[in-house]
Structure 1
Amino acid sequence: MSNDTNMRRRRRPGENAGRSGRRSPRTPPADSPSAIYGFHAVSEALKNPERKIHRLVATANALNRLKGLVPDMEWPEPSTTREMDKLLGSDTVHQGVALFCDPLAEPELSDCIGADMIVALDQVTDPHNVGAVLRSAAAFGATFLIMTDRHSPPETGVLAKTASGALEHVAIVRVRNLSNALEELRDAGFHLLGLDGEAADALGDEPVPKPAVLVLGAEGKGLREKTAATCDRLVRLPTRPPIASLNVSNAAAIALYEAGRSERR
């Protein structure tokens, strides 16, 4: 960690060191890309040296919990729940803590080379689903999440809270064309495994070669035709009637677990 980063992380969040008299920038609204809330999301962001932090707002209870997890920081004066509701909106489940910071820098597709497991989402637009997929990816060892520039959610507070800290550990890569990106990864040695409810083969019938990209489509639509055609193999989850389909985030968790389990067999 550089000296500049160490200095920044010891500074009181929101303090403009060396610039007394300047007004700090207006705090963005809670649904902007720079607002993160929820205890796990904020605590992991505070521990991430890549985060550029502008302001931390938290209740006394939340601050006490954070102090045990994030050492070597100066802390702001506590806020009340009422003040936080006014700042973030009364319907925001902030758990007593919010962090205003810059979005993380997003890597290039070439940075994925060397990864063991990657998740790719084909036009999954719901930030709750994407956040939950990020959480499963972090839990089961996937280090990158690929999405398209269009038809995918930005890094918002909703996404970060649902990811429960995983946003700091799984890098999001945005590409213009998903099929082209998958072909580049295949050329680099990745096996492309697509999840399709109509596939003949079930997940788990054969081991998953590594490195691999697990490709999932949006709920209802599933994988687009070109995306499915780009995959090396299509598999389905071995579900049973009367409920034969799962939410995309649940499907991702099961597929990631099975991919890791097949490697251990």
Structure 2
Amino acid sequence: MAEKSPKSSPQPLWIYGVNPVREWLLTHAELTLELLHSRRDDRIQTVVNMAQDRRIPVRFVDKKALSQILGLGNHQGIALRARRFPYASLEELLMDEEALSRPWLILDCIQDPQNLGAILRSACFLGISRVVLPKDRSAHVTPTVFKAAAGAPAHLAMARVTNLARAMDRLKEAGIWLIGLDLDGDQSLFDVDLTQPVGLVVGNEHSGLRALVKKKCDILAKIPALGPVQSLNAASAASIALAEAVRQRIHASQA
């Protein structure tokens, strides 16, 4: 049975910081309700001009007022209010003609917003465009995540699913080989063929992959520890795995 996407939250999404706001305007201007700024320097004005060119309402407010609206002071003098983050359904991601040409990233209950932001930033940097995460017991795209990711979520196709195990079954039906990252994995990640259609599955920061998620993986692979520190945080492990998948594909294309 196809996995349905949960309903989007009606709560508006605030995005702040020069780079995150710019990336959002480049990709999702149609979802933007207004832009607020408290500075008039050239860097801010460039982004303000982008908003005005897209007929987005712009307001100048003082720094204190902007800080009160956002509930924080480290906003770089600019923020926008968006209707929502445009999550897609899993089926929509699979319908894309490039669905099998790039690795997928499946996140099993990443709960720390900074970790999620770091993972999404690495994914975007490495050209990974499809991300699946569960609706419950997981961080999702918030202002903090968007800022930590330097605006990367604006360029990612992301699905929040109600049942991650069922979504993994659907990915396998579509021909995607699921590789779970696990400290006790059966083989080294560097010995796994990542040039085929694959989904890299990354577990929770503290407990790793849940038992059922592990069971749904085709392979459990570990990143070899060669030094005295024997573990990585979720963001570091995800970045290494994604980089290895990209490295293998570049090497295969040049062979």
Q: CA deviation at 1:112?
A: 2.4
CA contact (8 A) 2:195 2:248 kept: no
Distance 2:30 2:242 in 1: 27
In the alignment, is residue 52 of structure 1 matched against residue 34 of structure 2? no
Q: CA deviation at 1:111?
A: 2.0
CA contact (8 A) 1:40 1:165 kept: yes
Distance 1:144 1:84 in 2: 33
Question: What's the CA shift string for 1:165-190, capped at 9, x where partnerless?
Answer: 11111122011211111111111110
Q: State the structure with more CA Rg.
A: 1
Distance 1:251 1:163 in 2: 16
Question: What's the CA shift string for 1:205-229, capped at 9, x where partnerless?
Answer: 2321422111000112001111111
Counterpart in 2 of 1:168? 154
CA contact (8 A) 1:33 1:154 kept: no
CA contact (8 A) 1:119 1:214 kept: yes
Counterpart in 1 of 2:167? 181
Matches within 5 A, 1:98-247: 98-113=79-94, 114-115=98-99, 116-247=102-233
* Alignment CA distance shift 1:242-1:230 (3 Å): same
Q: CA deviation at 1:150?
A: 0.7
Query: Which residue among 61, 65, 77 is the counterpart of 1:79?
Result: 61
CA contact (8 A) 1:33 1:155 kept: no
Question: What's the CA shift string for 1:32-59, capped at 9, x where partnerless?
Answer: 6511112111111111246421121112
* Structure 1 runs not aligned, ≥5 long: 1-31
TM-score by length of 1: 0.80
Greater CA drift, 54-63 or 217-226: 54-63
Question: What's the CA shift string for 1:3-32, capped at 9, x where partnerless?
Answer: xxxxxxxxxxxxxxxxxxxxxxxxxxxxx6
Distance 1:103 1:227 in 2: 29
SS at match of 2:58: coil
Distance 1:57 1:50 in 2: 14
How many residue pairs get matched? 233
Distance 1:239 1:67 in 2: 47
Structure 1 runs of 4+ aligned residues shifted over 4 Å read 67-71
Distance 2:129 2:108 in 1: 17
Q: CA deviation at 1:68?
A: 7.3
* Alignment CA distance shift 1:249-1:33 (3 Å): farther
CA contact (8 A) 1:150 1:176 kept: yes
Q: CA deviation at 1:241?
A: 3.8
The structure where helix makes up a greater share of residues is: 2
Distance 1:181 1:120 in 2: 10
Question: What's the CA shift string for 1:93-132, capped at 9, x where partnerless?
Answer: 2121111111133211112224222111111112221121
SS at match of 1:112: helix
Distance 2:200 2:30 in 1: 28
Distance 2:117 2:193 in 1: 27
* Structure 2 runs not aligned, ≥5 long: 1-10
CA contact (8 A) 2:25 2:50 kept: no
